[in-house]
Amino acid sequence: MAQATASPITLTINGEPHTLTVDHRTTLLDVLRERLDLTGTKKGCDQGQCGACTVLVDGRRIVACLQLAVATEGRAVTTIEGLAEGDELHPVQQAFLDLDGFQCGYCTPGQICSALAVLDEHAAGWPSAATDDVRPEAGPPALTPEEIRERMSGNLCRCGAYVPIVQAVAKAAGQAAETTEESAA
Amino acid sequence: MREFSYERATDVSSAVALLETDPDARWLGGGTNLVDLMKTGVERPGRLVDVRELPLGRIESTDDGGLRIGATVTNSELAAHPEVRRRYPALAQAVLAGASGQLRNMATVGGNLLQRTRCAYFTDTSFPCNKREPGSGCPAATGEHRNHAILGASEHCVAVHPSDMGVALAAFDAVVAYESAAGGGELPLADFYLPVGDTPHLETALPPGALITAVTLPPAPVAAHSRYRKVRERASYAFAIGSAAAALDVADGVVREIRLAFGAVASRPWRASTAERVLRGQPAVGAAFAEAADAELAAAQVLDQNAYKVPLIRNLVVSLLTELAEETAR
């Protein structure tokens, strides 16, 4: 008997469960865009080099173009469409708007999803290639512009809006830190 | 892309039994290299066995004071782990120097060791390539080869291994554990990659169908004082044109223990054993570091466009070891 080349999967996207049958060759990116009409996630290079297709899977950022959809069975996917609460933008989205962290906008959904993860990864104490001393005793690095640039380096912007992108991420990080302090107070 | 069947492995023994009977099958880890190569037709498996849900995702201390890293640990988890950062900081730095945050969240330790070269002739099926099509020729030897090997290559293939992680693992004597239908085994990283010779398509000493289950780091006190440095054509998110992992222990101004490995110079992470031997017992000064690097690089065979890698690696060794020596003296 020939082996199946398609399988049914169930995954959660922005809080909604979806069940569909996917050809095994289909990437998560193509499922989002072509099957579920969630076109906010963009196809740039389609080979894992540009970051335009960045989404969160179980809270971690990945590139959806190299993620086979069949391997996302049971996972929770968050896309750019899932960030705002009604008409209220996510603070990272608002920071990109406030600081003009984009020009044409094509890389922006990926930049914003990536930035969200950068804030989480930094809050969890993860070092980066820009961190001088990675030993845990050195403590978590401050989220300097250099750290933000390194941590966001998987997201290319061909318009070159990098300066305001870094400013937007820094602003969102500052707000997140204030919120944490308030809730701790 | 060729159609393929897909299975999610849940235990190691049934997973290796699947691959034993099907030479057309491949393991799927993070897929960051394999899926990309399947899109371009370099890889054409008929079956994928997904290993991500196997119970191989832990990092544990071993009884002798080393670390055992499960094969499906992601690059991100490895680089963030406190014991890796404390006991083998160059390993955390090497992992963080590779790829992007997104790719590190997907990529696994086992997959990192098995990733393929990024030689542009290998990844483009319109060209001949001895690694992809044995006997078809090597356009890189006379074509674009500015990022190709200076050590251990042959006329049949001059491609470099792209891993950063592997360079630190080589410096710290990592051992690769595997399971196969014929039984389990261990391979020191030094023996894991095969010499290029006239068989560049045969890359590792793993038995057919074997599954990497873990990478073990033996205890190495010197590794706590280690560093990885990578040179590339842009500041981030690019493959190395040369890199080095180094660990150094200095007592009374003399090199007591040294670990040194290079990246982007050979078909494998390159342990600089000759340089280490030359340097042990010598004064921890720049001239001695340079002499040790020269001893290692004496075997270099350069091509028209990659001769720059010899002084690049030499300077990298001197600067890295000088920094480590100064920190020790403090």
Q: pLDDT for A95-131, tens place per residue? A: 999 999 999 999 999 999 999 999 999 999 999 999 9
Whether residues A24 and B96 touch (CB distance < 8 A) is answered with: no
Answer yes or no: is A15 within a domain.
Answer: yes
Answer yes or no: is B192 within a domain.
Answer: no
Answer yes or no: is B6 within a domain.
Answer: no
Q: Which of A25, A60, A127 sits opposite B96 (nearest CB)?
A: A127
In chain A, residues with a C-beta closer than 8 Å to the C-beta of B106 are 62-63, 66-67
Q: Do both A152 and A103 map to the same domain?
A: yes
Q: Do both A118 and A170 map to the same domain?
A: yes
Q: Which of B38, B99, B105 sits opposite A60 (nearest CB)?
A: B105
B210–A contact, CB cutoff 8 A: no
The span from the CA of A66 to the CA of B231, in Å, is 26
B28–A contact, CB cutoff 8 A: yes
- B120 pLDDT higher than 50: yes
- Residue to mutate among B6, B48, B116, with most A CBs inside 10 A, is B6
What CATH number is attached to the domain comprising A11? Answer: 3.10.20.30
Taking CA atoms, B98 is separated from B76, B163, B245, B282, in Å, by 10, 8, 13, 33
Q: Which of B3, B79, B105 sits opposite A5 (nearest CB)?
A: B3
CA B218 to chain centre: 17
Contacts of B273 (CB under 8 A, 6+ apart): none
> Of A131-135, A177-181, B152-156, which range is least confident?
A177-181
B294–A contact, CB cutoff 8 A: no
Average pLDDT taken over every residue of chain B:
97
The span from the CA of B180 to the CA of A125, in Å, is 37
The span from the CA of B266 to the CA of B196, in Å, is 9
pLDDT band at A183 (very low <50, low <70, confident <90, very high): low
B5-8 β-sheet, strand order: B5-8, B47-50, B25-28
Give the mean model confidence (pLDDT) for residues B249-259: 97
Residue of A nearest to B77 (CA): A126
Answer yes or no: is B20 within a domain.
Answer: no
Whether residues B103 and A136 touch (CB distance < 8 A) is answered with: no
What CATH number is attached to the domain comprising B319? Answer: 3.30.390.50
Which domain does A49 fall in, by range?
6-82
C-alpha atoms less than 13 angstroms from C-alpha of B254 in its C-beta half-sphere = 5
Q: Which of B46, B89, B105 sits opposite A61 (nearest CB)?
A: B105
What CATH number is attached to the domain comprising A150? Answer: 1.10.150.120
- Residue to mutate among A134, A150, A166, with most B CBs inside 10 A, is A134
Q: Do both A97 and A165 map to the same domain?
A: yes
The span from the CA of B89 to the CA of B79, in Å, is 9
What pLDDT is stored for residue A2 in this prediction? 61
Domain boundary (A82, A110, A127) is at A82
Radius of gyration over every alpha carbon of chain B, rounded to an integer in angstroms = 20
What pLDDT is stored for residue B157 in this prediction? 98
Answer yes or no: is A43 within a domain.
Answer: yes
Domain boundary (A32, A47, A82) is at A82
- A1 pLDDT higher than 50: no
What pLDDT is stored for residue B330 in this prediction? 61
Q: Do both A71 and A107 map to the same domain?
A: no
Q: Which of B32, B38, B86 sits opposite A48 (nearest CB)?
A: B32
What pLDDT is stored for residue A178 in this prediction? 77
Q: Do both A102 and A171 map to the same domain?
A: yes
Give the mean model confidence (pLDDT) for residues B176-189: 96
B165–A contact, CB cutoff 8 A: no
Place of tokens 């060759």: A25
For chain A, how many structural domains are there in total?
2
> Of A10-19, A124-133, B171-180, B320-329, which range is least confident?
B320-329
pLDDT band at A175 (very low <50, low <70, confident <90, very high): confident
B57–A contact, CB cutoff 8 A: no
Which 3 state secondary structure label does DSSP give A122?
helix
Which domain does B261 fall in, by range?
223-329
Domain boundary (A49, A82, A115) is at A82
Which 3 state secondary structure label does DSSP give B139?
helix
Answer yes or no: is B243 within a domain.
Answer: yes
The 10 Å Cβ neighbour count of residue A75 is: 17
Whether residues B6 and A128 touch (CB distance < 8 A) is answered with: no
Answer yes or no: is B313 within a domain.
Answer: yes
In chain A, residues with a C-beta closer than 8 Å to the C-beta of B102 are 48, 51, 54, 61-63, 114, 154
Nearest Cα of chain A lies from the Cα of B226 at a distance, in angstroms, of 11
Q: Do both A118 and A34 map to the same domain?
A: no
What pLDDT is stored for residue B144 in this prediction? 97
Nearest Cα of chain A lies from the Cα of B102 at a distance, in angstroms, of 4
What pLDDT is stored for residue B323 in this prediction? 97
Residue of B nearest to A122 (CA): B80
Answer yes or no: is A163 within a domain.
Answer: yes
Answer yes or no: is B14 within a domain.
Answer: no
Q: Do both A50 and A112 map to the same domain?
A: no
For chain B, how many structural domains are there in total?
1
Nearest Cα of chain A lies from the Cα of B155 at a distance, in angstroms, of 30
Average pLDDT taken over every residue of chain A:
95
What pLDDT is stored for residue B318 in this prediction? 98
Q: Do both A73 and A119 map to the same domain?
A: no
